[in-house]
Chains A and B, each alone.
Chain A
Amino acid sequence: MSEMSGHTPPGALDFIVAGDTPTAGAPIADLSYRNYDGPLHTRVARWWIVSLASLRLAVKKKGFWIAAAISILPYLIILLQLYLQSGTPVPAGANPLMDLTVGQRFASQFFQALGFQMFFLFIITLLVGSGVIAADNQSNALLVYLSKPLTKGDYLLGKWMGVFLILFGVAFIPGTILYVFCLLSYYSEGFLKNEPWLFARMTLAAATPAVIHASLITGFSAWSKSPRVAGALYAGLYFIGNIVVGATWAIRHRGNLGEGVLERHLSVEGVINGLAQNLYGVVQKLPTYNQRTNTMERLSIDPPSMMVMLLMAAAFVVVGVGAARMRIRAVEIVKG
């Protein structure tokens, strides 16, 4: 008799199970029903359970760690570059890699790093986000999940937050490391005084791709029964959007970088970039060749309209989350 046999009700079965039954190898199993007399909590943040499950699932994927490791390289390269430069200071205006204007010096480095990281954030989105709801659809898990004390909103928020936190973490952690390095290395050169809001800007800029990617991939995932399909659809939107926007801009403005700045940003990647540029307050200075004067010049490109970028980002969030909310239900209703 097992330890629990004191709970055994009349007629309940205590077996020595043999053969290929599920308890094979376990000599004695107490199969009697046991009450649960503990408390049941009504969690205020019920969504957190769902987020935690998504996070655990994501960190088990090797691909995630590889992509995350590659995605922090831009920050490390900039950190290394700053470290090397700090040893060999160059006069203002003579540094081809750095805009030394007050307010631009470090912000432009952070913006550049995020720009290089952008593609990898997209890859991580596909890795951890495409299956976020599609896998539940595929396994019919929603029927079970939504029979627990969990609302549709809890479920959706949990899934969204699971993707958001991963993406935000991947963008925020290397940003913070770079910030701490700059703080320690350039404090005496007026780092805090010249760019007092840089940490807040970096935090918001790191949250921007996380919010947009999380919202859109959640929407695609909710409408798919397979993570691969969800990933393929989102990749299609991302790349085709970039190609269409890029081609339209190139035709209309003959590849002149100084023109059609807003048009160039009317894609998912463009909106993320545009918002980040606005948040960092960076004016891009690109080296261009002037055929008339036969000299290299720096072309200043202001960020696209913040209002338009915000509206587009809001549209992405509303469409993504709204589509997911519309689709999430325990039972698939096919109307005759």
Chain B
Amino acid sequence: MTTSALPPVTTARIAAQPMIALEHTSRWYGQVIGINDVSCWIGAGITALLGPNGAGKSTMLKLITGQLKPTTGHVSVLGLEPFANTNVFRRLGYCPEIENSYDDMSGRDFVTLLGSMAGIPANRLRTRVSEVIEQVGMTANSDRKIGGYSKGMRQRVKVAQAIIHDPDVLILDEPFNGLDPLGRREMSAVLHHMADLGKCVVVSSHILYEVEQMTHNILLMNRGRLLAQGDVFHIRSLIDQHPHRIAITTTDSRGLARRMLDLPYVLSVRFDPLRPGTLEIETHSPELFYTQFPEIVLDHGFVVSSFESPDNNLESVFRYLVGAG
């Protein structure tokens, strides 16, 4: 038995280099495309992997977790090729989307077995298992058989096994599935803290609202291709094809509409028939609009009761980029 010779990952070191990198990576299943020529890198912090069903999210996660080998291109995790590489697995935690589990095992036994496989020595295992079980809020139910668990409880146990060895890279496939709102908050807090410690957390999810609450850093995939990577608001600002919509509720909607139409960067103004007093404008230059709007309001004495940008969010970016909007 030998102790790990790998140096611990420090925040300074990981900040300097991507923790996960894909270079022109493709993976084909016979004639079926998994992912196609994807290049990206993922650093410390929380990154959400988004895309509709069949977008290639799961293939990408399986490539990162070393379960699959790329057909072409390269994948590296912490500077190493992950495929069947136990040195990578020792620093990587993976929570797959699977529904089934060992129903005859207790949650504690399941986490203990996987902690042991992760290399935690026997004399530390019991304490560490108790710690992670407590972290995921399963202490009271850990000795019950998994067969009797709810979907959310199974999810918590899966997350516990993924974080038991304190991995530097944590990959979670649909981690919020089956969790109640409280569970989602708790899980989110655990992931945020891991990110604060300089770890790389990749979350694949289709619950856009949950992702938006957790991170603005996204990877958006569709049909095996990477459509966008980066901050969701920055990505939204780059989508010229769809003008930004801004909804403003004011006591003098007609007067405000007149002023708005005088602005060269405002493309259209529309009154919302469902919300009296609310007008919706479209612009290609939201930054310019946001800069000048307070001035206009103050100069003309408009009373603004609400101001929102209904399509400056993850859902809109998702819709526009995958071509459904």
Contact B189 A4 (CB under 8 A): no
Contact present for A9 and B1 (CB under 8 Å): no
Do A139 and B100 touch (CB < 8 A)? yes
Minimal beta-carbon separation of A48 from chain B (angstroms): 10
Residue A296 at the chain B interface, CB threshold 8 Å: no
Out of A4, A37, A143, A335, which one reaches B98, CB within 8 Å?
Answer: A143
Given A9-B193, A23-B139, CB of A39 within 8 Å of CB of B102: no
Contact of A333 among B29, B101, B164 (CB under 8 A): B29
Does B217 count as interface, using CB distance less than 8 angstroms? no
Q: How far is the CB of B293 from chain A (nearest CB, A)?
A: 33
Among A40, A44, A143, find the residue whose CB has the most chain B CB atoms closer than 10 A.
Answer: A40
Do B121 and A11 have beta carbons less than 8 Å apart?
Answer: no
Give per-residue flags for B191-215: 1 if the beta carbon is below 8 A from chain A beta carbons, else 0: 0111011000000000000000000
Write out the residue numbers on chain A whose beta carbons fall within 8 Å of the beta carbon of B2.
41-42, 44
Query: Interface size on B (CB < 8 Å)?
Result: 71
Contact present for A33 and B182 (CB under 8 Å): no
User: Do A31 and B186 form a contact, CB below 8 Å, given A9-B196, A143-B98, A336-B29?
Assistant: yes
Instruction: From known contacts A143-B67, A336-B30, infer whether A149 and B139 are also in contact, taking CB-CB under 8 Å.
Output: no
Complex-state Cα separation, A38 to B86, whole angstroms? 18
Let me know if B86 and A331 touch, CB within 8 A. Answer: no
Asked whether B141 is an interface residue with its Cβ less than 8 Å from the other chain, the reply is yes
* A130 CB → nearest B CB, Å: 15
Q: Which of A40, A53, A138 contacts B90 (CB 8 A)?
A: A40
- Given the known A-B contacts A13-B185, A24-B140, are A144 and B89 also in contact in the complex, defined by CB atoms under 8 Å? no
B1–A43 contact, CB under 8 A? Answer: yes
Least CB separation from B103: chain A residue: A139
Q: Is A25 an interface residue (CB 8 A)?
A: yes
Check A31/B190 contact, CB under 8 A, given A41-B1, A140-B98, A150-B117: yes
Cross-chain contact B134 with A38 (CB below 8 angstroms): no
- A105 at the binding interface (Cβ < 8 Å): no
A141 near B102: Cβ-Cβ < 8 Å: yes
Residues in A whose Cβ lies below 8 Å from that of B30? 335-336
* Contact yes or no, B134 A152, CB < 8 A: no
Residues B245-288 near A (CB distance < 8 A): none
State which residues 149-175 of B face A: CB under 8 Å.
150, 152-153, 156, 158, 161, 163-166
Q: Which residues of A contact B84 (CB under 8 A)?
A: 151-152
Q: Indicate if A147 sits at the interface (CB-CB under 8 A).
A: yes
Also in contact, A336 and B3, with CB within 8 A (given A24-B140, A144-B96) = no
Chain A residues closer than 8 Å to B141, beta-carbon distance: 22-23
B110 to chain A, nearest CB (A): 9
**B324 interface residue, CB < 8 Å from A?**
no
Contact of B66 among A11, A32, A147 (CB under 8 A): A147
Chain A stretch 281-333: residues in CB contact (< 8 A) with chain B? 329-331, 333
When distances are taken between beta carbons in the complex, the residues of chain B under 8 Å from A49 are: 113, 116-117
A: interface residue count bin: 35 or more
Q: Is the CB of A23 within 8 A of B189?
A: no
Q: Are A31 and B135 in contact (CB under 8 A)?
A: yes
In chain B, positions 1-17 with a C-beta closer than 8 Å to chain A are 1-4
Q: Contacting A42 at CB < 8 Å: which of B68, B101, B119?
A: B119
Given A43-B119, A149-B117: A22 in contact with B193 (beta carbons within 8 A): no
Task: Say yes or no for A30: interface residue by CB 8 A criterion.
Answer: yes
Is B3's CB under 8 angstroms from A149's CB?
A: no
Q: Are A36 and B120 in contact (CB under 8 A)?
A: yes
CB distance from A275 to the nearest CB of B (A): 35
Could you list 8 examples of A-B contacts with CB < 8 Å? A22-B156, A40-B118, A40-B119, A42-B4, A138-B100, A148-B117, A330-B67, A331-B68
B residues contacting A by CB (< 8 A) are 1-4, 29-32, 62, 65-68, 84, 86-87, 89-90, 92-94, 96, 98-104, 113-114, 116-121, 124, 128, 131-132, 134-141, 150, 152-153, 156, 158, 161, 163-166, 180, 182-183, 185-186, 189-190, 192-194, 196-197
Task: Give me the 9 closest cross-chain CB pairs, A-B, nearest first.
Answer: A335-B30, A336-B32, A36-B166, A147-B94, A33-B193, A40-B119, A149-B86, A140-B98, A148-B117
